[in-house]
Copies of this chain bind each other. A is one copy, B any other.
Amino acid sequence: MTYQHLTTGEHASASYAPAPRVVGIAGGVGGAKLAHGLQTILPPGALSVVVNTADDFKLWSLYISPDLDTVMYTLAGLANRVQGWGLEDETWHASDMLRRYGQDVWFRLGDLDIATHVLRTHLLQQGSTISQVTAELAHSLEVPSHILPMCNEQISTMVQTPDGLLDFQEYFVHRHHSDRVLGVSFRTQGTPRITNEVSRALHKATAIVFCPSNPIVSIGPILRVSGIKEAISASGAPKVAVSPIVGGTALKGPAADMLKTLGHEVSPVGVARQYQGIIDGMVIDREDEHLAPRIRELGMEVEVTNTIMKSDDDRALLASSVLVFCNRLTQQRRNES
């Protein structure tokens, strides 16, 4: 495939360039798709994905980490292609039985998926950190990338609505993100701080990619973890973000509504403003090409390409565009100095 030759070729021919070490910063479905594209075109082990855990919650005392699961299943090639989350060929017998026990099954646990929750909960109860557990599970599923939870402490996203303050999953899944969002806040336990794994990955990064995830509730919590923004800032690697907003709407989830009700512009410009001072460039969809000048006014470079990922090829092609853009930024910086 063209994109593979392109990227591999670039790395191979540029003998002065270090081996690529890409860090993705990601939430759930959209982030996982781009991460999968990056994994496809990079050598094994070259990708680390820092994943949001502020949506994590407990259900029937099982520790559920929706974004870690989505990223892991996607990078393992096991994700359900139609819905984006959950597993392919999933069945729902355990949920049926819970319903038979009179339980309100508002978050459906697939039979394959529940094994992940049971094992993760068990390992956490035995004293492992979420970083250790994630590494162990991903290793078993032969994921060739490093999946790095943003921290080992607990940050919980809370959504302020006209009906009061809701846990994120309560707002997102149980109430189908239909409430008006008046504000987003974060409840922390302990002092969430950068892990050794995230610190090392960012330190060695040759490119840092903010995946097309919700900037407020997916990427936002990651940037609140003590030490992560500083480590990104200290990195000499180019930092680019892919807009999750295309043509004025979010491809998935409540990002558009959230930006709007929180007073932000629902466009790649609004997204770029969220990352101002942190990133060097934005990747936007062709549909939003006319907005490029306004993003450049914010002091960022812009790459225009197809950002909608329907197939595996779409994922890899977008990943390739992103890395070529990063290489261009690196080259520019070299030429300037």
Contact surface of A with B, Cβ cutoff 8 Å: 60-62, 90-91, 93-98, 100-103, 111-116, 118-119, 121-122, 125-126, 137, 140-141
Contact = CB atoms under 8 A, between A and B. Distances in A.
Contact of A100 (B95, B111, B118, B140): B140
Contacts of A93: 90-91, 93, 111-112, 115
List the number of copies, as a whole number: 2
Max chain B CB contacts within 10 Å: which of A96, A118, A137? A118
A96 B112 contact: yes
Contacts of A140: 100-102
Contacts of A137: 101
Contacts of A118: 60-62, 94, 98, 114, 118
A103 B140 CA distance: 10
A94 B122 contact: no
A119 B98 contact: yes
A115 B141 contact: no
Contacts of A102: 140
Nearest to A97: B115
A304 to B, nearest CB: 41
11 contacts: A91-B93, A91-B111, A94-B94, A95-B115, A96-B115, A97-B116, A98-B115, A98-B118, A101-B116, A102-B140, A111-B114
Given A91-B91, A93-B91, A94-B94, A101 B121 contact: no
B114 A94 contact: yes
Nearest to A87: B97
Contacts of A116: 97, 101
Contacts of A114: 94, 111, 114, 118
Contacts of A115: 93-98, 100-101
A112 B100 CA distance: 10
Contacts of A62: 118, 122
6 closest A-B pairs by beta carbon, nearest first, are A97-B115, A93-B111, A61-B122, A111-B111, A60-B122, A97-B112
A119 B101 contact: yes
Given A91-B111, A94-B114, 13 more contacts: A61-B118, A61-B121, A61-B125, A61-B126, A62-B118, A93-B93, A93-B112, A94-B111, A94-B118, A98-B118, A101-B141, A103-B119, A114-B118
A212 B122 CA distance: 36
A116 B97 CA distance: 8
Contacts of A141: 100-101
